[in-house]
Structure 1
Amino acid sequence: MSAQAPALPQPAAGFAPPSVALCTIGLAMASFMQVLDTTIANVSLPTIAGNLGASSQQATWVITSFAVSTAIALPLTGWLSRRFGERRLFVWATLAFVITSLLCGLAQSMGMLVLSRALQGFVAGPMYPITQSLLVSIYPREKRGQALALLAMITVVAPICGPILGGWITDNYSWEWIFLINVPLGIFAALVVGSQLKGRPEHIDTPKMDYVGLVTLVIGVGALQLVLDLGNDEDWFASTKIVVLSCVAVVSLAVFLIWELSDKDPIVDLRLFRHRNFRAGTLAMVVAYAAFFSVALMMPLWLQRDMGYTAIWAGLATAPIGVLPVILAPLVGKYASRYDMRMLASIAFVFLSLTSFMRSGFNLQVDFQHVAGVQLIMGVGVALFFMPVLQILLSDLDGREIAAGSGLATFLRTLGGSFAASLTTWLWAHRTQQHHAHLTEHVSAYTPGMQEQVLAMGHGDLQHGAALLNNIIDHQASQMGFNDIFYLLGWTFLAIIAFLWLAKPPFGAGAGAASAGGH
């Protein structure tokens, strides 16, 4: 494969499904179902652990196994689509997702559930990038922005709906139904898209399997994901397990990178980074999604841990972030092409930065309306963020490269989210400890009037009063750590704007493919 791949015509050029609207509904439903499953089990973990006789620590593998398998499968999308065709890969992956969802719902032990979730995550890997590629292909060039805006809306709304829907299903029915609801949805999506895209012309290769790339990818990503997931619990590099896993990840990924860049037919085409807009857009997407993921992780945790909200109320307080993206998505899709994508995304990051700085001023007395109001304002940034950045990173890829590029960018975005989750959790705990130590420096039994205040708090019981005081300090220290992280996130969102302006127009999806090799 030469350094500059020839620009190929879109494989489905001139093809239109019998009903673009019905095909779009099928593709959107599959994507929503897959993205929803990344978060729908989160609030149900205590119930699942109790019903299956497992510990809460073991229950977290329900999330981890899905994330690890998805991350491993994502970069294989390009190779699989070249080997089997995009339509066939979509239908097979969606039906496999249905079967693995059924296995999750029927699981009678934690081991069986974790294995089923790992299989579900693996078959889910290609679904999002293939959906993106198919959605782009069935719309004329001037309407592709609308297709990407729809996908961006799903990417934002589905993870928000996950905890609320998961909590409601678990409370009112049983946890098995958070997986079983995928069965009818998946069958519908596979049948609709399969029939609508029948006869779609596709360019199918017979690339040889890159076994070295596949093995080093599975080992490297698997070990890295385990490091990120287990790091906080194992006290990071004080643990031999984390050190060994880190060494395995570094060596495997180093071999993977060297092999993929030198192999004639790599399983992951890292040469896509020769495209200037793909480089700049992917960098912006990964960092921005990592920061966005940190916000999405911290808000429900903070509301439940420090503000005393239940899981459902925490979900309702954070849900307004999805309101404006739903309303604005059609408008962004229709009119965004009239503007510079870099400018739209820059406006988005200003809003995301502003709301982060607003949260850095929160205290333990902040009310529901204020929390929900800031989430609502953040929705403006979210509505203007995903679609323009997606369009930038896809803009100089040719038709054959779109599925591979989307898979690679989504893979890196997923890893960025995992890294952000671990880093944010660690940083929050670290800053909380520092603030706790600083606050207790000013509290002493010998401070004038302190014993009287503690006795009053404990209604005459000094030990009870001291415990109540320590609890107050714990929450205050946690709040100060929360504020520190959001202050940092505010500056992070502003810094991402610089990455955007490394890209160059035109930004129509696939528009720059012909000249991309020179970037």
Structure 2
Amino acid sequence: MAGNVATSAVINRGMVTATVMLATLMQALDTTIANVALPYMQGSLAATSDQINWVLTSYIVAAAIITPATGWLEARFGRKPLFLTAVIGFIVTSMLCGAAVSLAQMVMFRLLQGIFGAPLVPLSQSVLLDAYPQEQQGQAMAVFGLGVMLGPILGPTLGGWLTDSYTWRWVFYVNLPLGVLCAFGIFLFLGRRADRPLARRLDWLGFASLSLGIGALQLLLDRGERLDWFASREIQLEAALCVLGIYLFTVHSLTASDTFIDLALFRDRNYVIGIMLIFIVGVVLLATLSLLTPYLERLMNYPVLTAGLVLAPRGVGTMAAMLLAGQLIRFVDARLLIATGLGITAFSLHLMTGFTPDVAQGTLVRTGLLQGFGIGFVFVALGTVAFGTLPPALRTQGTGLFNLMRNIGASIGISVMGYLLVRNSAVTQAGLVEHVTPFRQVIRDHAQQLGIATVHGRAALAQLVTAQAEAVAFIDNFKLMMFVSLLAIPLAMLVQRPRRPPGKEGQAGTLAEA
């Protein structure tokens, strides 16, 4: 019987891999694809600029709350039923989002879409880890990483093209073909998990307190910039609720016998270091992307679609690095791969500190390829070592927390970089304005070229000063991201090289039989 399971796993492994790749890509795309369509939704749904942002906020908060519960949901309902329900629910709510005729409907449907989408990425990663023996898990993480990393990169490009060519509703309808293929793949090729963990009673206090902390944190990060951070009573309240929720969850977890998140996860050194490093990857990857998009669109006046096409090559670099790292990790110390990837990422950010408002497209493409290559190396090696020593029974819960930390890192990175961009731009602009006097020869030369005696000329000079101030602020942020990447390298050196267990192809059978 064991032999049959192993054979089944080998036969179905390719189809299962393709299926979970679709699920991962579908969910990862939806984290960014709707962003470019917000201005079009705003007019169609008769919403203000503040109200329309709830389309993004509702999805992010719902997904953040449900992601840590994936392990318990799998144990309670089974992996295949949960996976199938999540995919079908994601398809249905995507269609409802596309058909929404009011802001209230859209926010409600996006919240439901976030709930159904939350388990997709943790389940996909857990399924792949169970499908492949340890010596091939680097290749499995390479495939998984393609979906996770390419989704946010391709999302704005695809969203811009769909919105320009059709209507904003197609950024949701595009999930239908992907979702249908994914659902059929799960139904046909994903069997029942042989080593399904025992269902435990839901720790309601742990779940509620963690949900309160995470939900308040995501609201704070998403709305902080628009509400001027702690000058707003709403942000102050959300910060207090976040601290209260995390405090209650921590105290409860340390004193209760049966907790929402199994504390055995934190006894695995590699896993703990892994979630710390994936947090940093989330900060660097998504924060850099969030900086580059306005850099191209505001400072360089690129159309949305052109900006997306210029950013797309970093996806090519990521893909190449992941495929290469998936092979190298069988022979090369994972710590070396992580350190190399972080070093390449830091070097690419160093090159970006030389950007100007008229930087050549070739330079943008080269730095994007290089940065994508570095991040790809890190992600594959990190996914392999973080779960290489984790017991299989803890994998789904572990992947849920792993992906939650990546998403929180991304949210914090985007919010902090956005705040620093506005602050540094204002400070730099104030400093530049002090030097705009008629006594400086360079100012007199520009004044003549711009025709500063006219209203149009003075406006052009003010616009030039603002653009230069923003460029300096962007460069300061790129420099900060470079130092963050470099400081993560010593942390990677603390990872212990996992000892290879007795290799049995049959142990991989739990993937196809999951």
Q: What's the TM-score once normalised by structure 2's chain length?
A: 0.93
Aligned counterparts, 1:347-362, within 5 A: 347-362=340-355
Q: Which residue of 1 aligns with 2:291?
A: 298
**1 CA distance for matches of 2:10 and 2:257?**
35
> Cα deviations across residues 489-513 of structure 1 (Å, max 9, x unaligned)?
11111111111111111176999xx
Q: Which residue of 2 aligns with 1:403?
A: 396
**2 CA distance for matches of 1:273 and 1:281?**
11
**2 CA distance for matches of 1:509 and 1:197?**
25
1:361 is displaced (CA, Å) by: 1.1
Aligned counterparts, 1:94-243, within 5 A: 94-243=87-236
**Letter of the structure 2 residue corresponding to residue 466 of structure 1:** R
Check conservation: 1:18, 1:196, Cα contact below 8 A. Answer: no
Check conservation: 2:22, 2:147, Cα contact below 8 A. Answer: no
**1 CA distance for matches of 2:502 and 2:282?**
23
Check conservation: 1:395, 1:510, Cα contact below 8 A. Answer: no
Check conservation: 1:397, 1:510, Cα contact below 8 A. Answer: no
Deviates more, 1:306-315 or 1:173-182: 173-182
Q: Which residue of 2 aligns with 1:260?
A: 253
Check conservation: 1:261, 1:271, Cα contact below 8 A. Answer: no
> Cα deviations across residues 276-311 of structure 1 (Å, max 9, x unaligned)?
101111111111221121111111111101111111
Distance 1:151 1:453, change over 3 A: closer
**2 CA distance for matches of 1:335 and 1:451?**
59
1:18 is displaced (CA, Å) by: 4.5
Deviates more, 1:447-456 or 1:155-164: 447-456
Q: Which residue of 2 aligns with 1:490?
A: 482
SS of match in other structure, 1:19: helix
Check conservation: 2:421, 2:474, Cα contact below 8 A. Answer: yes
**1 CA distance for matches of 2:193 and 2:261?**
25
**2 CA distance for matches of 1:467 and 1:187?**
53
Distance 1:116 1:507, change over 3 A: farther
1:468 is displaced (CA, Å) by: 1.4
SS of match in other structure, 1:502: coil
2:281 to 270, 283, 288: 288
Matched, 1:65 2:58: yes
1:261 is displaced (CA, Å) by: 2.8
1:52 is displaced (CA, Å) by: 1.4
Q: Which residue of 2 aligns with 1:84?
A: 77
Q: Which residue of 1 aligns with 2:365?
A: 372
Between Structure 1 and Structure 2, which shows a larger proportion of helix residues?
2
**2 CA distance for matches of 1:481 and 1:493?**
19
**1 CA distance for matches of 2:257 and 2:212?**
22
Check conservation: 1:396, 1:509, Cα contact below 8 A. Answer: no
CA RMSD of superposed structures (Å): 2.1
**Letter of the structure 2 residue corresponding to residue 490 of structure 1:** M
1:246 to 239, 261, 281: 239
Q: Which residue of 1 aligns with 2:472?
A: 480
**1 CA distance for matches of 2:96 and 2:254?**
38
**1 CA distance for matches of 2:132 and 2:334?**
19
Aligned counterparts, 1:278-357, within 5 A: 278-357=271-350
1:502 to 494, 503, 506: 494
**1 CA distance for matches of 2:502 and 2:258?**
22
1:460 is displaced (CA, Å) by: 3.8
Check conservation: 2:195, 2:393, Cα contact below 8 A. Answer: no
**Letter of the structure 2 residue corresponding to residue 238 of structure 1:** A
Unaligned runs of 5+ in 1: 1-8, 512-519
Check conservation: 2:80, 2:192, Cα contact below 8 A. Answer: no
**2 CA distance for matches of 1:509 and 1:408?**
25
Aligned counterparts, 1:407-446, within 5 A: 407-444=400-437
Check conservation: 2:318, 2:369, Cα contact below 8 A. Answer: no
Deviates more, 1:489-498 or 1:375-384: 375-384
1:14 is displaced (CA, Å) by: 7.7
Check conservation: 1:394, 1:510, Cα contact below 8 A. Answer: no
1:397 is displaced (CA, Å) by: 0.7
1:234 is displaced (CA, Å) by: 1.4
Check conservation: 2:428, 2:472, Cα contact below 8 A. Answer: yes
**2 CA distance for matches of 1:267 and 1:467?**
58
Check conservation: 2:321, 2:374, Cα contact below 8 A. Answer: no
Check conservation: 1:17, 1:23, Cα contact below 8 A. Answer: no
Check conservation: 1:77, 1:403, Cα contact below 8 A. Answer: yes
Distance 1:278 1:55, change over 3 A: same
Deviates more, 1:501-510 or 1:274-283: 501-510
1:352 is displaced (CA, Å) by: 0.3
Q: Percent identity?
A: 33
Check conservation: 2:26, 2:178, Cα contact below 8 A. Answer: yes
**Letter of the structure 1 residue corresponding to residue 231 of structure 2:** A
Check conservation: 1:15, 1:201, Cα contact below 8 A. Answer: no
1:448 is displaced (CA, Å) by: 7.1
Q: Which residue of 1 aligns with 2:45?
A: 52
Check conservation: 1:353, 1:493, Cα contact below 8 A. Answer: yes
1:274 to 259, 267, 291: 267
1:40 is displaced (CA, Å) by: 0.6
**1 CA distance for matches of 2:276 and 2:187?**
34
**1 CA distance for matches of 2:92 and 2:501?**
33
**1 CA distance for matches of 2:22 and 2:192?**
22
Distance 1:215 1:200, change over 3 A: closer
1:447 is displaced (CA, Å) by: 5.6
SS of match in other structure, 1:337: coil
1:141 is displaced (CA, Å) by: 2.6
1:452 is displaced (CA, Å) by: 7.9
**Letter of the structure 2 residue corresponding to residue 264 of structure 1:** S
Matched, 1:464 2:456: yes
**2 CA distance for matches of 1:33 and 1:295?**
22
Matched, 1:393 2:386: yes
Check conservation: 1:15, 1:200, Cα contact below 8 A. Answer: no
Which structure's relative contact order is higher, taking Cα pairs within 8 Å and 6+ residues apart? 2
**1 CA distance for matches of 2:322 and 2:96?**
35
1:189 is displaced (CA, Å) by: 1.0
SS of match in other structure, 2:225: coil
Q: Which residue of 1 aligns with 2:506?
A: none
Check conservation: 2:273, 2:495, Cα contact below 8 A. Answer: yes
Unaligned runs of 5+ in 2: 504-514
1:30 to 20, 23, 29: 23
